[in-house]
Amino acid sequence: MSESNSQCLFVGAALSSRSVRALSGAASEMRAGSGSSDLDLRWVAPARYHVTLKYIGWSKPAFVPAIIDAVSKIVANTKSFDMRCRDLNAFPSMEKAEVLWAGIDDRMGELAKLAGAIDSALGELGVEQEAKPFVPHVTIARLKRPGNLVKLVQRVPEHVFSKSSLKSLILYESPVESGSSEFKKIADWSLE
C-alpha cells in the first residue's frame, strides 16, 4: 500500500550515544575488512541505529492518532529499564546472512514483554501481528545477496557494545528517499 499519502511506520527505541559509538566502531572495523571479500554489504548509518519493537508498515496519516493512543496506554504503566547491546549475529544465519545485527540482552524479558503488549494492542486496531518470536536487535548492515559473515565478525574481538537506558519509545516514519540518513519522529512516549 505504498501510496503517496501513506507513511511507513514503526515503534522503536533509540540507543545511548555510547552504544551508537561502540557499534559504529565495530562496523568500521568490519567495513575495513570487507573490502577484500565478495560480500556486498550496505552499512546502516549510525543515525539509524535503533531497536524496533513493532513494525507497523504503510499506514494512512489518519491512523496515527489511534496508534499514539494505543501505545500511550501501554507506556503509562511501563518503567524505564536498562538494556545491553551485545553479540553480533545474522538473519537467517551467519553462514547465509542477509542481515548483520547486534543483539540486545533481554534476560529479564522486559523488552519482549513491552514489544508483545504493543503488538497485541496494535493488532486490535487491525495491524498485522508478528508471526515470528521477538528478537531484539540493532541492524548494522544488509547484504544484497546472502553471504558468510563468520570471518568478518571475527574482526571484532569484543562483542559488548555498552548499555542503554530505555527511557522512551518513538513512533518513527521511514523516509521514502533512500538517501536520507535519519528516520522522522512522529511521536514519542516517556517511560516512568
Domains contained in the chain, CATH given: 7-190 (3.90.1140.10)
Please choose, from the candidates 14, 85, 18, the residue with its C-alpha nearest in 3D space to the C-alpha of residue 53.
14
Residue 1 has pLDDT above 70, yes or no: no
Beta bridge partner(s), residue 29: none
Q: For 36-54, how does the pLDDT look when each residue is reduced to its tens digit (9 = 90+)?
A: 678 889 999 999 999 999 9
Q: What is the DSSP string of 33-65?
A: HHTTSS--EEEPPGGG-EEEEEEEEEE-GGGHH
Specify the residue for cell string 508471526. 131
The overall average pLDDT reported for the chain is 90
| pLDDT (mean) for 178-183 | 66
Give pTM, 2 decimals.
Answer: 0.90
Q: For 70-113, how does the pLDDT look when each residue is reduced to its tens digit (9 = 90+)?
A: 999 999 989 999 999 989 999 999 999 999 999 999 888 999 99
To the nearest whole percent, how much of the chain has pLDDT over 70? Answer: 94
Query: Which pLDDT does position 4 carry in this prediction?
Result: 58
* 116/7 Cα distance (integer angstroms): 23
